[in-house]
Amino acid sequence: MDSLISHYSSLIGDFELTRNTLVFIIGAVATAIAAATLFIVAKVNDPRNKRLGAIIHDDDDKSAFTRFSSSVEFFATPNKAEERQTVAKRLIMAGYRSTNALSIYYAVKLVLTVSLAAALLLIMAIMPHPLTFTQVVTIALFGAGIGLLIPGIVLEKRIAYRAKQVMRGIPDALDLLVTCTEAGLGLNQALQRVADEIRVGHRELADELDVVTAEIGAGVNRGQALSGLYKRTGLDEIRGLVSMFNQTMRFGTSIADALRTYAEEFRDRRTQAAEEKAAKLGTKMIFPLVFCFFPAFFVVAMGPAGIKIIRVFNGL
């Protein structure tokens, strides 16, 4: 303790101020840890939670981190309901539909924020060259900020990856839907059959179709179940498909004909998108050619001639 006080007093320049500051920080941290421990112990031993866990029969299936996330949910989750709903929707779009996914997400943010800041502080404590107090605080805040941003970045990457996987399965699903509806199956049976058939190659889309059929079987309106499919994926192609289904059910037209027309339009849009990417390829290749290929080419082509010219001028 004395060596720590002397180390930081050499940085700040005031021994008394350094000692009082460290004592205050240690007391505040100890008080916060004690209060959090008491709160967690009280919540874990709460008879109401035990009784609810016994009724639901999921207390034994929860992992240690899941129980920890449920305990720190009061501290980690934000107070605004709109923010919680937005994050919950993003988690559903990423494929995390568990009831405690929101608490686990914020618990991960809390653990990463505290652990990265503490790790940087430990690294700075063993460094041979001492840093100033401002630098220590800045680096610790930088680590905490990185830990706070990492879960959001990973979540967005997961949403983009899942949307890409769902997008890949739409053409096969449309073709199978056309075949099933033309064979005489209803929409619910066709969606279930398509989900079973594409599960091996396109599991994400099959899971979404399973959710739609389960909601319809539970009594949810067919239009609402299909609209939920768009909300869980966020793809414009799914929105167009849902709009087509709703219009077909409203006006009583043939689902098979509408699906065949939409499948043809989807193939045309996919072909146009591929042609657009091919047209952009020439422009995108300019920068690699200019900065990577041309310098190496000029070195190989003009290097020997340049060396000969330098030798000739040196001889003169």
Question: How does pLDDT run across 142-175, given as a tens digit for each residue?
Answer: 888 888 899 899 999 999 998 888 888 888 888 8
Which tokens in the block code for residue 122?
A: 């430990």
- In this structure, the number of other CB atoms found within 10 A of the CB of residue 102 comes to 20
Q: What percent of the chain has pLDDT over 70?
A: 79
Q: Give pLDDT tens digits for 36-73.
A: 677 666 665 666 555 555 544 444 445 555 665 665 56
Element holding 222 (H helix, E strand):
helix 222-233
Give the span between the Cα atoms of 278 and 256, in whole angstroms.
33
Residue 22 has pLDDT above 80, yes or no: no
Q: At what angle do helices 236-251 and 255-284 cross, to 10 degrees?
A: 160
Which tokens in the block code for residue 268?
A: 């045309």
The domains of the chain are located at: 1-61, 162-271
Q: At what angle do helices 203-217 and 187-197 cross, to 10 degrees?
A: 150
Element holding 115 (H helix, E strand):
helix 101-125
All residues at 6 or more sequence positions from 87 whose CB lies less than 8 Å from its CB, including other chains: 102, 105, 106
Give the span between the Cα atoms of 119 and 39, in whole angstroms.
25
Give the span between the Cα atoms of 112 and 156, in whole angstroms.
17
DSSP string, 187-199: HHHHHHHHHHHST
Where is pLDDT greater, at 26 or 50?
A: 26
Give the span between the Cα atoms of 10 and 310, in whole angstroms.
58
8 Å CB contact between 207 and 234 = no
Which tokens in the block code for residue 130?
A: 């001492």
Q: Which of 91, 90, 262, 275 is nearest to 170 (CA)?
A: 262
CA geometry: angle at 23 spanning 27 and 2, to 5°? 135
pLDDT score for 47:
62
Which tokens in the block code for residue 239?
A: 């929105």
